[in-house]
Each structure stands twice: as structure tokens, then as C-alpha cells.
């Protein structure tokens, strides 16, 4: 639009300039033409700082008129909500295959967390005795929420994935599809109910996982309260014809706050609520994780070096108990060990020997 206006004005000015030259006795035309050119030039100089730099004057003037026309246009949101991640299910495997793999992984691939494994076993005992089918076998009240509470790096995400596969294998869930969201999907001032319906649109059979959900118990901004998010979760989870499984990953502190808050209890009581209680990993579990990480890089630890590695893990954990007892720290330690071993030309092969481990400990 601005380009059209600018083009018309330039054409008129050019026509007036020609007339003035032809009839230069009509000096007032020359004066008016110069005056209008000055107006356009002044507008360009004023507007140019507010718009992009274009190649020619016609485009620059057009940009100026576009800017003038857009002054009263409604403001656009420069920070739209983050797009949730949708993890598509593996349509190639049957429920029986998913169940078999998940059972094996929960038994062999998750270190420590005996309490969580027992809580999962209790849920499946409940499923076997339930007269209902589908998600109602897990929660007859329609809709279910699982609170994964515990420290970061304790295995919550891995257990969640395998637990969903178990439910799919038992035909409690129609699909293994997962919708992942976090705090960024609930910006201040937004309507949590609209957000949740948008998240699950066309994915009614999926499981909604909200990562780092402490903000629901204690939101950073009062513009959108955790109570309103919780109430919206309860409404969406009970929505017919598809009830929804919702999983919240949060700290013990946030979980305790939610469970003691009367306003939170109002919406939690409307759903079947389950808890998985994760603990800090012990030294034996951390050692197994470290061994797995090393094996992924084709490295191993000599059998007579395992006690020294375990002692190293315990020493480091004692120095930083809150920040070290998790799988992330074992990955960092494995990378450090491999780098140190590979950089010493005296070391051969891929087996970390007791001598190397002792030297690594001494160099700390």
C-alpha cells in the first residue's frame, strides 16, 4: 500500500516539474513542487531510522508510508509460547513387543530406585484386578496424574518412557505417543485451559508430560497461578471421550507443597493420583552407570580397578552430594577418564588399569 502511494506522489511531482519547466513563467508551480519534494525528503529522513534500508528511493519512501499506515496496528507478540515436542509412537511394534522390552529394561536398565520399581509393580497388580479397561483400569475416576518426584538425574525421564510402554503393552493406553511441555508453554497472562487443549489437539490418545513442573507448585510469576494450571489439567484429563494420562516431573519440595496445599488438593482429588518417589543414586548404581557409559565408547575398567573407581565416585559424591549423585555426573566423569587415558601415550588399549586409576585420583 505504501509503495503505491509513494509511486503516485512521485508521478505527480514529476508531472508538475515537467509543467514547470515547460511553462517556467508559472513560478508558483516550481515553488510547490520543491516544497512537496522537501516534505517527502523530510519524511524519508525521519522514517528511515525506523525501517529497513532498501535499495532505491522509491522503496524507501514506500517503506515510510507503510510505517505511517502501521502506526496504529495492534502490537504483535515477540515471544510466542514454545512449541511442544510430540514424540511419535513406534507403530512398527505391537503392544506385546513393547511390554516385553519395557519389562526387561525396568529390571535390567534402571539402577537403584527399588521403591519406584515396587510402586510400578503395585500399579500393575492393580491393573490385573481391575474390572475396567483402558485408562479407567488405572484410574476409575477418569483421568490420571502421576507425580515423578525426586532429584534431577535420578532416572525420572527414562522410567517415564518405559512406564508408558508398559501401559501400552497392557492396552491401558492406545498409543505410546508422548506430548512434552514445560514452563515456556505457559507464559504469564495466558489461559492454561486453552494452552492444554491446544497441546493435546489431534493427540487425545497421547500422554502429556510436563517437565520441571515445580512452577505449577510455585510459579515464578503470579500472572498465571499454579492453581489455575492444576485446575485446567484436571478438566483436560477428564475430557471425554478420551481420558488423559498426565505426568509431572518435579522436585520433592514442590511435590510436598502441592500435596499440602488445599487449592491443589481440590484438583488432584478429582484424578487418580500416583507418586513415584526417586532417590539420589547410591555409589553402586553410579558405578554401573559409569561402566555403561565407558562401554558405549568401547572402554572398560579392569576388574581389580573397580574398587578404586568406586572409592573415587564416593569421594567425589561426598564433596558435592547435592550436585553429583546422578547420571549426568557419571557421563562427565567417563569423558574425563577417557580423555586423560587417551592423552597419555604410555597407556595402551582401552582398559582402564588400577595404575591409571590411582594416577588419576592422585592428580585430582
35 or 130, which is more confident? 130
Q: How high is the pLDDT of residue 304?
A: 92
Same domain, 192 and 313: no
Residue 170 lies in a domain: yes
Tell me the average pLDDT of the chain: 75
pLDDT band at 32 (very low <50, low <70, confident <90, very high): low
CATH of the domain at 127: 3.40.50.300
Whole-angstrom CA distances from 201 to 88, 129, 190, 205, 327 are 14, 32, 17, 10, 34
Euclidean distance between the first and final Cα of the chain, in Å? 69
CATH of the domain at 339: 1.10.8
Strand partners, 179: 86, 208
Same domain, 146 and 233: yes
Average pLDDT (121-149) is 82
Average pLDDT (143-170) is 86
pLDDT digits (tens, 9 = 90+) for 280-323: 888 888 898 899 899 999 999 999 999 999 989 888 777 765 65
CA 27, CA 19: separation in Å to the nearest integer?
10
Q: Which helix (H) or strand (E) holds 245?
A: strand 245-250
Domain boundary among 25, 40, 69: 69
Residue 92 lies in a domain: yes
Cβ contact 84:180 at 8 Å: yes
Residue 40 lies in a domain: yes
Question: What domain range includes position 22?
Answer: 2-69
Domain boundary among 246, 277, 308: 277
Same domain, 48 and 118: no
| Burial per residue of 251-265, b for 16 or more beta-carbon CB atoms within 10 angstroms, e otherwise | beebbebbeebeebe
Same domain, 264 and 336: no
96 or 38, which is more confident? 96
Domain boundary among 277, 292, 311: 277
Same domain, 30 and 124: no
Same domain, 129 and 248: yes
Same domain, 259 and 289: no
Same domain, 146 and 219: yes
* pLDDT for 341 beyond 90: yes
Same domain, 301 and 190: no
pLDDT digits (tens, 9 = 90+) for 245-274: 899 999 999 999 999 999 999 999 888 889
Same domain, 129 and 243: yes
Same domain, 111 and 210: yes
**Tally of structural domains, the chain:** 3
Amino acid at each position: 500500500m505504501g509503495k503505491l502511494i509513494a509511486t503516485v506522489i512521485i508521478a505527480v511531482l514529476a508531472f508538475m516539474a515537467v509543467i514547470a519547466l515547460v511553462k517556467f513563467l508559472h513560478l508558483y508551480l516550481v515553488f510547490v513542487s520543491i516544497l512537496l519534494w522537501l516534505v517527502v525528503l523530510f519524511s524519508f529522513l525521519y522514517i528511515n531510522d525506523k525501517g529497513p534500508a532498501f535499495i532505491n528511493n522509491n522503496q524507501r519512501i514506500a517503506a515510510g508510508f507503510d510505517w505511517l499506515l502501521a502506526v496504529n496496528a495492534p502490537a504483535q507478540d515477540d515471544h510466542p509460547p514454545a512449541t511442544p515436542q510430540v514424540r511419535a509412537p513406534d507403530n512398527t511394534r505391537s503392544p506385546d513387543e513393547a511390554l516385553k522390552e519395557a519389562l526387561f529394561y525396568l529390571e535390567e536398565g534402571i539402577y537403584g530406585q527399588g521403591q519406584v520399581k515396587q510402586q510400578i509393580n503395585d500399579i500393575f497388580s492393580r491393573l490385573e484386578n481391575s474390572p475396567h479397561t483402558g485408562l479407567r483400569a488405572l484410574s476409575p475416576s477418569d483421568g490420571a496424574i502421576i507425580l515423578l518426584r525426586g532429584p534431577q538425574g535420578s532416572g525420572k525421564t527414562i522410567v517415564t518412557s518405559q512406564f508408558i510402554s508398559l501401559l501400552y503393552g497392557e492396552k491401558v493406553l492406545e498409543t505410546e505417543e508422548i506430548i512434552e511441555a514445560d514452563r515456556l508453554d505457559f507464559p504469564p497472562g495466558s489461559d492454561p485451559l486453552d494452552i492444554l487443549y491446544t497441546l493435546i489437539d489431534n493427540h487425545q490418545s497421547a500422554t502429556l508430560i510436563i517437565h520441571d513442573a515445580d512452577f505449577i507448585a510455585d510459579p515464578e510469576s503470579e500472572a498465571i497461578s499454579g492453581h489455575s494450571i492444576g485446575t485446567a489439567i484436571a478438566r483436560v484429563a477428564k475430557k471425554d471421550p478420551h481420558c488423559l494420562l498426565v505426568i509431572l516431573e518435579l522436585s520433592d519440595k514442590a511435590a510436598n507443597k502441592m500435596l499440602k496445599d488445599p487449592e491443589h488438593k481440590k484438583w488432584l482429588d478429582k484424578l487418580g493420583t500416583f507418586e513415584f518417589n526417586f532417590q539420589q543414586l547410591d555409589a553402586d548404581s553410579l558405578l554401573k552407570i559409569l561402566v555403561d557409559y565407558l562401554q558405549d565408547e568401547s572402554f572398560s575398567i579392569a576388574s581389580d580397578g573397580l574398587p578404586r573407581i568406586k572409592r573415587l565416585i564416593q569421594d567425589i559424591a561426598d564433596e558435592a552430594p547435592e550436585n553429583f549423585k546422578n547420571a549426568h555426573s557419571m557421563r562427565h566423569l567417563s569423558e574425563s577418564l577417557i580423555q586423560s587415558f587417551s592423552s597419555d601415550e604410555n597407556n595402551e588399549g582401552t582398559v582402564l588399569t588400577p595404575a591409571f586409576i590411582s594416577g588419576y585420583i592422585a592428580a585430582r
